[in-house]
Structure 1
Amino acid sequence: MRSALSSRDAVVATVATFVVNGVGVGTVGALMPTLADRWNTDARGLGVLLMAFGLAAIGGINIGGRMADHGGALRPLRLGTVVMAAGMLLIAASPNLAVAVAVAAVYGLGNGLVDTTMNVMAVQVEQVRPRPLMSRFHACWSIGSLLGALIVLVCGSLFSGAVTISVAAFVIAAVLIATDLPVLHRFAADTAPIDHTDESGGRTKVPRVAWILAAMAVGFGLAEGTAFDWSSVHVRDVAEVSSTTAAWGLAAFSVCMVGVRMSGDYLVHTFGRRLVVRIGAGVAATGYLVAMLGPTMPVLLLGWALVGGGMALVAPQIYGLAGMLGGGRAMSRVVTCGYATTLVGPGIMGLLVHEFGIQHAMLLPLAGAVMVSALSLVMPTEESRGTWSRTLEG
């Protein structure tokens, strides 16, 4: 018999899914410098690969949101898990960058499916539990991304050669992602479908306030996505260290993100969503400024740590509000803007890095963090539920 959304089993399944999805994204991000060495490419080549991930993710995000609203999140979540793991193995087996870009759509599609549906599940689990959980769910995702970075560091210490290191890391990550399937089968609770029709049978519109959250998602997508995919490259190029040692940049970002997210539900309850997002995005902008000016490894790691701590609570608040107030359809709009920017934005970063250098290119994610902080002044809160509901009703 399927677990109830309010059960501890449902929480366990949601936690596991956030962890393994983070492992996949963290592994890919930490491997960027190694993949550049493996395929003898530069920032433009990495940018094309990341843009391919992002474009495919857009499709997965929107498909996942619609499937979750129509028949529950569990089926598209399982599908996305399989596709994501398969995509990582295909990239691992790619003999060159051109093939990797061609098969990147598999990984991107799976990641997009998982990202939307796990957040839909997290919102509905949180709503029926006695205490807030969204920040801690995202903390588990950050733990997973940290594990992904550590996988790359361990593979770099055990093996030699970019091909062997990247293949080993991809295979380990894919196996860990696949282990979520039996967990979902045993523990997960399916979400309730959400109807988006009015009394006359017509389809209701997505409320306008959703686009405020979507714009904020673009901002944090630039700031957070750059950290995942370019922090390691940035540390390698500026501090002039090895590709595997450079993964400490992503590790510093992830450790601080985990630490802040573990206390995030308390901070939101004490200070409110708007203030937490405003201050956090401001801290992240400061971190990018430090990273831009820092010439040494310790200063660079400090900058990326500030970015991780500052951005830690932004995504949970924006995604949580979208799902709480508008269901999977509204969340898919917001996640599309955020997640696609998280992947496509770093692809654009590759072009900027090639043209202007990696230090100057960091102005783009810094501007994204500033935009989030400014938009927090008008972001909706739980009190918007009545207005949002009336909009949904026509």
Structure 2
Amino acid sequence: MSRPIDHRSAVRWTSGVLVIFALLGFGFGSWLGRIPALRDHLGASTLEMSWLGLALALGSLTGLVFSGRTVSWLGPRRTLAIGITGQTLALPAAAALFWVDATAPAIACLVVYGLMFGTSDVAMNVSGAGAERALGTPRMPLLHAAYSLGSVSAMGVSALAETSGIIVPVHLGATYALILIVAALALPRLPPGSPEAATPERPASVHTGPTRIPAAADVDAASGRYSPWLQPRILVIGLIAMSMALAEGTASDWLPLALADGRGFANESAALTLGVFFVSMTLVRVAGSWLLIRFGRVRVLRGGALLVIAGLVLVILVPFAWVSVVGAVCWGVGCALGFPIGISAAADHPATATRDVAAVSAIAYTAFLLGPMGIGFLGEHLGLLHAFWPLVAFSAFVLVAARAAREPRGGVGAAH
């Protein structure tokens, strides 16, 4: 059994990784907030701007594919130090190159930024899951709330930069310089090695059955032959996280347009409804630790899936504006905790937590990045509102599969 860290060190670890979540959310939100200004400067069409998103997605997916081995090799703290430094160099460089019409090298820098961001995202989730385990109480929802708050704050700062006439390269350069400085202060709070070395293994539950992987897999883990892609429980947890991430990503990309086209919302009202969706989701993540302690993972997942289904049905079928807003609230509340719970569940087994969390993250983020494109394709043929129906099926899957994420007895978030 590994030697656990003390409570004070666990609190210090948690506070450090909380700051990292907020910083990565702030950095990515800053990029999203300045895309309109970049488009105007380039005079680019929607199709041309989609190539930028594709470059970013390509880099991110590459980072996700290799993140398990990378984080296992370097450890989360060192991976984050390299990843945040790489983001600080790559994204401002991309903006500067776009500004001088050097499009090809700018896109290459975006690929590098995506690679660094995707790898860093997995590293911070691995570290966050380890901190949660060391602390002995659910913290992943709060960490993801910090990411959401960072993103929302960045949007406000981006709007201020826009009205102040600050050009994109200067804004992003200053933003990432600040992120690098704050990260340098936060990262020493994280343990230097692997989270598996800092947290003991929890006993299996006598009520829900053992969650420990078989002894043969333990041997494979010790010898380096272990693969999370061959573990049915990890794959199911990944699909649960994927389903909720797809619900979140689809709302982010398509909800305002669907309401504008399908329900006659003004653009401002449609954007405000998306804001209500994000606020609802963030508030639930802030309260997520209490909800998990009180109700446990399985009931929270099932309740969330039911709310997503209810929200989608209201948005798709009921032609009243106020009902659409209520549906957006249910949708946001329902999908808020799916991904954080998936990360926590993937980290239940400390010997393989890094690779398991990386696999679940890769499955979920792939859906988050690429799934909304599929929804958009359906929307071209069926209309955006009716293109949301597959999300109901994915949420129904979560209802059926939620038991795979049950916590081991005595683990974080055990049901009372």
* TM category, shorter: 0.7 to 0.9
1:177 maps to what in 2? 179
Further displaced range: 131-140 or 195-204? 195-204
Task: Rate the CA distance shift 1:97–1:249 in 2: closer, same or farther, 3 A.
Answer: farther
Cα contact 1:149–1:247 (8 A) shared by 2: no
Count residues with an aligned counterpart.
376
Q: Distance in 2 between matches of 1:186 and 1:385?
A: 29
In structure 2, C-alpha distance between the alignment counterparts of 1:340 and 1:125, rounded to whole Å: 25
CA deviation after TM superposition for structure 1 residue 320, in Å: 0.9
Give yes or no for the alignment of 1:359 onto 2:385: yes
Counterpart of 2:286 in structure 1 is: 262
**Which residue of the partner structure matches residue 120 of structure 2?**
114
Q: Which runs of 5+ in 1 are unaligned?
A: 387-394
Given that 2:14 and 2:131 are in contact with CA atoms closer than 8 Å, whether structure 1 keeps it comes out as yes
Range that drifts further, 20-29 or 346-355: 346-355
What is the CA–CA distance in structure 1 between the aligned matches of 2:35 and 2:325, rounded to whole Å?
17
Deviation at 1:134, TM superposition (A): 1.9
CA contact (8 A) 1:22 1:143 kept: yes
Q: Which runs of 5+ in 2 are unaligned?
A: 198-216, 412-416
Residue type at the aligned position of 2:138: P
Cα deviation, residue 364, structure 1: 4.3
What TM-score, normalized to structure 1? 0.80
Whole-Å separation in 2 of the counterparts to 1:291 and 1:120: 35
2:213 corresponding residue in structure 1: none
Match status 1:132 vs 2:122? no
Q: Give the one of 390, 397, 400 matched to 1:371.
A: 397
Q: Which residue of 1 aligns with 2:11?
A: 8
C-alpha displacement of 1:312: 1.2
For residue 69 of structure 1, report the CA deviation from its aligned partner.
2.1
How many angstroms does 1:284 deviate by?
Answer: 2.5
Q: Which residue of 1 aligns with 2:306?
A: 282
Partner letter of residue 277 of structure 2? Answer: F
Relative to structure 1, the CA distance from residue 371 to residue 310 in structure 2 (aligned partners, 3 Å threshold; closer, same or farther) is same
Give the whole-Å Cα distance in 1 for the aligned partners of 2:270 and 2:93: 25
Tell me which residue corresponds to 2:277: 253
Cα distance in structure 2, aligned partners of 1:123 and 1:114: 14
| Pair 1:301–1:55, CA change in 2 (3 A) | farther
- Counterpart of 1:203 in structure 2 is 225
Counterpart of 1:383 in 2: which secondary structure? coil
Q: Distance in 2 between the 1:22 and 1:90 partners?
A: 19
Contact 2:246 2:372 in 1 (8 A): yes
1:148 counterpart (145, 154, 159): 154
Structure 2 residue 369 is matched with structure 1 residue 343: yes
Shift of 1:119: 1.0
Q: Distance in 1 between matches of 2:236 and 2:271?
A: 34
Match of 2:408 in 1: 383
Contact 1:149–1:251 (CA<8 Å) still a contact in 2? Answer: no
| Cα distance change on mapping 1:294 and 1:153 into 2, 3 Å | farther
What amino acid maps onto 2:186 in structure 1? L
CA RMSD, Structure 1 to Structure 2 (Å): 3.7
- 1:221 aligned partner: 245
1:22 positional shift: 1.7
Of all paired residues, the percent bearing the same amino acid is 26
CA–CA distance in structure 2, aligned partners of residues 368 and 47 of structure 1: 26
Alignment deviations for residues 73-102 of structure 1 (CA, whole Å, 9 cap, x no partner) = 111111111223334324434257965654
Q: CA separation of 1:368/1:173 partners in 2, compared to 1, >3 Å: closer, same or farther?
A: farther
Q: Is the 8 A contact 2:315 2:327 kept in 1?
A: yes
Tell me the distance in 1 between the aligned counterparts of 2:323 and 2:185. Answer: 41
Match status 1:321 vs 2:324 = no
Aligned in 2, Cα 1:232/1:151: closer, same or farther, shift over 3 Å?
Answer: farther
8 Å Cα contact 1:135/1:262 also seen in 2: yes
Q: CA deviation at 1:156?
A: 4.8
Q: Which of 18, 27, 35 is 1:24 aligned to? A: 27
1:286 partner SS: helix
Please report how far the alpha carbon of residue 133 of structure 1 lies from its aligned counterpart in structure 2 after TM superposition: 1.7
